[in-house]
Amino acid sequence: MTKGFSGSAYLRTIKKRIKQEAIVVTRYGLVGIAATVVHMLIVSVLVLLTPMHTLLSNTIAFCAAFAVTFAGNYVWTFQSPGNPWRAIRRLLLISIAAFSVNTVVLSAIISQKWLPDVGAAFISAAIVPLISFIIVRIWGFQNASTGNIEKE
Give CA–CA dist 132/73, Å, rounded.
12
pLDDT of residue 98: 84
Nearest alpha-carbon partner for 61 in 99, 105, 104, 109: 99
Percent of the chain residues past pLDDT 90, beyond the cut: 36
Give CA–CA dist 81/100, Å, rounded.
26
pLDDT of residue 118: 81
Q: Which residues of the chain have pLDDT under 50?
A: 1, 144-152
pLDDT of residue 144: 43
Burial grade of 47 (CB within 10 A; 0-12, 13-18, 19 or more): buried
Nearest alpha-carbon partner for 62 in 41, 84, 87, 88: 41
